[in-house]
Amino acid sequence: MYKLIAVAALIIAMAIMLFFLPDAQLSDSQQQYSGYQAKTSSPSVKKQSASKSNNQLPEKLRDSSLKGTTIDGLYPVDEDGNLLLSDDIKHRFEYFLSTMGEFSFAEVQQMIRDDIELNLQEPALSQALSLFEDYVAYKYALVELESNLQAPKDYELNDIERMRFQLQQLRDKRREYFDQEAVAAFFGFDEMYDDYMLSKLEIQANTQLTAQEKQAQINSLEQSLPAEVQEMRAETNKVSDVFKVTQDMRASGASEEEIFEVNSQAFGQEAAQRLQALDEQRQNWQGRVDQYLAEKTKIDANETLSERDKSLAKELLLQGFDDNERRRLGVYELMEKEKQNP
């Protein structure tokens, strides 16, 4: 969920981060909305075949951060063996790309090509390989686009027209590498939601409207969203509301049993168990982070240590984190710095 889109360049930077981070898991309703079919060898849309992609984890990934998972996404084909463009393909690409850092980019690319060759036959095989090459070229183009963007001045942070212009640059870049069917399949939901958020920001920034008029226009805007997206937003808001309730309960001293009961009533017992497990993981992670930051602060404050000794001591602290955790830790520290220096 967007907060206030501080600047459209941030959105482009987030797109670039797909080189290093896994694609966000979509809810069923979002997949239904954005799972477009693509062009086929004839003008009419072909019926999708019943074949499924092999989701068994390759041996190379069985000791990676993806250990214990199954491959996300698939390669849908029509009854004539042509590839049907779908965001499922993008999810499958991103599943492998999420291992960047554990493996070289060349290794990751080869894993994706091997996966395509394992699952597809001609003509879909060549179509998928070509689509992947376009996807990689697009990712590189995003890096160049981001490097050419100028950082906004303080007075431009909420400049909606600037955001709209930079988002249009991003859209234009997509269309340099993909045809309209591929754009719709891979980015249709993103672009629709960007339009929604920008319109919402324009309403909120309109000083000619009263608070009641703003809310009425926002409600109307939300009603214009596809039904599937409205359902997704309603579910997301529900999760957010329940999370806030349980956080307030925990701050007030409520027991884990009481919090579990609230989650169980809202989402069912099975989901509440998953939430409880995730919360335990989150608390464990936060405890490790807090301890790391406290020890790091002590090292920095120790005037008897040389800069070299401080660096070595902090490197020893990091030995308690694996590579993925170190990346998360780096992002956490960056966010903390931004909070302290807004």
Task: Indicate whether 22 belongs to any domain.
Answer: yes
Which residue bears the tokens 């797109």? 15
Q: Which amino acid is at 86?
A: S
- Alpha-carbon distances, residue 37 vs 67, 138, 182, 203, 279 (angstroms): 31, 21, 9, 33, 38
Residues 44 and 177 in one domain: yes
pLDDT value of position 128: 96
Residues 200 and 235 in one domain: no
Residues 168 and 232 in one domain: no
Residues 150 and 261 in one domain: no
Task: Indicate whether 308 belongs to any domain.
Answer: yes
Residues 69 and 155 in one domain: yes
Query: Which tens digits make up the pLDDT trace of 134-172?
Result: 999 998 888 888 777 655 554 444 577 888 888 899 999
Residues 251 and 136 in one domain: no
Work out the end-to-end distance of the chain between its first and last CA atoms, rounded to an integer number of angstroms: 21
Residues 325 and 232 in one domain: yes
pLDDT value of position 150: 59
Nearest to 296 by CA among 285, 310, 307: 310
Contact 170, 11 (CB under 8 A): yes
C-alpha span between 218 and 198 (Å, rounded): 11
Residues 254 and 189 in one domain: no
Query: What single-letter DSSP state applies at residue 100?
Result: B
| Strand, helix or coil for residue 36 | coil
Crossing angle (nearest 10°) for helices 227-251 and 256-267: 170
Residues 97 and 23 in one domain: yes
Which residue bears the tokens 């491959």? 71
Contact 71, 267 (CB under 8 A): no
- Report CA torsion sign: 248, 251, 253, 254: positive
C-alpha span between 278 and 244 (Å, rounded): 16
Q: Which amino acid is at 258?
A: E
Task: Indicate whether 334 belongs to any domain.
Answer: yes
Residues 199 and 255 in one domain: no
pLDDT value of position 46: 43
pLDDT value of position 63: 82
pLDDT value of position 283: 84
Domain that holds residue 62: 8-204
Task: Indicate whether 219 belongs to any domain.
Answer: no
Task: Indicate whether 217 belongs to any domain.
Answer: no
Q: What share of the chain is helix, strand, coil (3-state, %, to 5)?
A: 70, 0, 30
Residues of the chain with pLDDT under 50: 1-51, 154-157
Number of domains into which the chain is organized: 2
Cβ neighbours of residue 129 under 8 Å, at least 6 residues apart? Answer: 113, 116
Burial 60-72 (b: 16+ CB within 10 A, else e): ebeebbbeeeebb
Task: Indicate whether 215 belongs to any domain.
Answer: no
Residues 118 and 246 in one domain: no
Burial 306-318 (b: 16+ CB within 10 A, else e): eeeeeeebeeeee
Task: Indicate whether 260 belongs to any domain.
Answer: yes
